Structure 1
């Protein structure tokens, strides 16, 4: 009888120990390419996943030169395509850490007050830019860039010469 109780207890423990990721996310996810935006060799991808509560998580992973120092590349979600002049910032994303070239952000309200659902994001007119610095002349250096939402994110549609300078203000 004690063995049966032990096995039942173990079964309950094993069933309740499902991976946290299954409970954290829905099955909705998107992936977009981030292309090299300057002479600095950084490119990567952004994954958009829907959390169980309906929020969106944006995970950026770049490939390129890492460093052990304390440095972060500012990262923004912008309105419009990467070639839109003066594209205002829709949301300040967590910066990419130079140590592992990763960033994770749970998307909150946009600068215009909207909260995007997964369906909204699929139809969003936007792009992501990763900057070399948060101010000064290096702010204009775009390390990596890619359209998101309903904008063409293909390599065929990407032209580095068409990247516009970011508007440093939040849209409204």
Structure 2
């Protein structure tokens, strides 16, 4: 009986420590951006950016829509410029969104230009997120969801209609 009580108490302490460690992972600063439907596929979602202790950012993408096979994933990118920027350069290659969970989590460290994006800079960053149907081929040009982030999120000229034009790499 004493061993059972000890095991239960030990388990509670471990769970408490795990929760404490998880909450100590973040500074408390976070911002959420809307990801809009960008094709005939019925997806929408959010991108949440949280500041990690140490200064790196963690970006979580959560989509709403039809779930698929766990072996399928949708490539995701953070681009420089607002969503209407043609041929926008990729700032970060994000972890692909899993079709079964419709989630992705990426720690943003160094951007493709060599700079590190900090939380306060993110708020003034002009960028956008795109989640593609496929990593290559014709389906790469199909954007499931897209949305501006940082100062670009306040842009009033959001035009997603250009996102579904085949043959162009937006």
TM-score, normalising length: structure 2: 0.83
* Gap regions ≥5 residues in structure 2: 1-9
Report the equivalent of 1:143: 144
State the 1:67 CA deviation.
1.6
Report the equivalent of 1:42: 43
State the 1:161 CA deviation.
1.4
State the 1:20 CA deviation.
2.2
The SS at the match of 1:103 is strand
Report the equivalent of 2:7: none
Report the equivalent of 1:63: 64
Calculate the aligned-residue CA RMSD, in Å.
2.3
* Gap regions ≥5 residues in structure 1: 1-9, 168-172
State the 1:45 CA deviation.
0.1
Report the equivalent of 1:26: 27
Report the equivalent of 1:53: 54
Instruction: Summarize the alignment of residues 76-87 of structure 1 with structure 2, pairs less than 5 Å apart.
Output: 76-87=77-88
Separation of aligned partners in 1, 2:154 and 2:133 = 22
Report the equivalent of 2:92: 91
Separation of aligned partners in 2, 1:76 and 1:45 = 14
The SS at the match of 1:152 is helix
Once structures 1 and 2 are overlaid, which stretch shifts more, 60-69 or 78-87? 60-69
Q: Compared with structure 1, are the counterparts of its residues 153 and 20 closer, same or farther at alpha carbon in structure 2 (3 Å cutoff)? A: farther
Report the equivalent of 1:161: 161
Per-residue Cα deviation, 1:5-47 (whole angstroms, up to 9, x for no partner): xxxxx9xx69x73522221000110000000010001110000
State the 1:158 CA deviation.
3.3
Report the equivalent of 1:6: none
1:74 and 2:75 matched: yes
Whether contact under 8 Å (1:75, 1:130) holds in the other structure is: yes
Whether contact under 8 Å (2:42, 2:65) holds in the other structure is: yes
Instruction: Summarize the alignment of residues 103-122 of structure 1 with structure 2, pairs less than 5 Å apart.
Output: 103-122=104-123
User: Which is richer in helix?
Assistant: 2
TM-score, normalising length: structure 1: 0.82
Separation of aligned partners in 2, 1:152 and 1:116 = 17
Per-residue Cα deviation, 1:50-70 (whole angstroms, up to 9, x for no partner): 001110000000001102341
